[in-house]
Amino acid sequence: MDAKEKKRQKEIEALEREVEELRSLGPETGSTLADIERIRREVAELKREFYSHLDAWQRLLLARHPQRPYTLDYARMLFEDFSEIHGDRLFADDPAIVCGMARFGGRSAMVIGQQKGRDTKARVARNFGQAKPEGYRKALRAMRLAAKFKCPIFCFIDTPGAYPGVGAEERGQAEAIALNLREMARLPVPIVVTITGEGGSGGALGIAVGDRVFMLENSVYSVISPEGCASIMWRDPTKAEVACEALKITANDLLPMKIIDAIVPEPEGGAHNDHEESARLLRPALEQALQELTPLTPAQLVDQRYDKFRHMAPFYGTSALP
């Protein structure tokens, strides 16, 4: 954050303090209410200006904010009758990924997504949203169940990446993700994906092959974390901010490359400020996607999904090549 941005943020904080001071002076008179309303307008204008010019690193910090809504929050706010499915029927249940049947707009649907914790205990229990092979196998089990009953699938992505521990590797982490990629590519039901926070590497892509891929305004989607990229490219993790810009991980970067289909706006200041409003802004995108995909036959869905991923991130011109 540069000096100009820090100054703007301090101005916002000062104005917000002034509003609180005016409120604490006593009964609100006509002039006091007018002053409060004037300051609120100034704060709103400054916030709009501040949040419309965030760089990639600042959006990454917002994407990682611990109070952002997670999959279970969206399951509660957007769906009805959510009933969670546990276990992969092979090894164990992975709490880093949640799956469950629900109803969306009166229609049966499958909800799948990564889940982080709000406090230290919950974060440890859910492994900070980093799924193990059994998590991806549980997700695939749920997807196949949705296909069996012809239910659309809604995926919510928020993970720094798949868990890289020894146990996960021993149980076939790469194979589990690769299998999901193949199977999701040919599922005969609509798949709508929303990146709500961090979309990290194959850990995100393992449940993100969809007919429509949306990103919340302040979410990120990347092949590697900026810290990991900086460690590899410069042998210096302190260059994470530089890597963040180079990686092109924001929604505004990815939309022109056709990696995502649309950017979903967030409440003022970020989704963490108002969970209900964040869900309200997301709902129309999900409804429209389902309306467009439902009339398609299974063969049309699979063909369009294949074409969609084949045309992501096109590059033209070979004049620079030897």
Average pLDDT for runs of 10 along the chain of length 322: 53 61 58 66 62 79 92 96 94 95 95 93 93 96 96 96 93 95 96 94 92 95 90 89 91 91 90 93 96 96 94 65 44
Give the model's pLDDT for residue 318.
52
Is pTM beyond 0.85 here?
no
Instruction: Enter the DSSP assignment of 89.
Output: S
pLDDT of residue 114: 96
| DSSP letters spanning 274-312 | -HHHHHHHHHHHHHHHHHHHTTS-HHHHHHHHHHHHHTS
Distance CA 110, CA 84 (A): 10
Residues 6+ apart with CB under 8 A from 319: none
Residue pair 251/199 in contact (Cβ under 8 Å)? The answer is no
Query: What pLDDT does 10 receive?
Result: 62
pLDDT of residue 33: 67
Instruction: Please tell me the predicted confidence (pLDDT) of residue 54.
Output: 80
Helices 133-148, 173-185: axis angle to 10 degrees equals 20
* Per-residue pLDDT tens over the stretch 263-298: 999 988 789 989 999 999 999 999 999 999 999 999
From CA 114, how far away is CA 160, in angstroms rounded?
A: 10
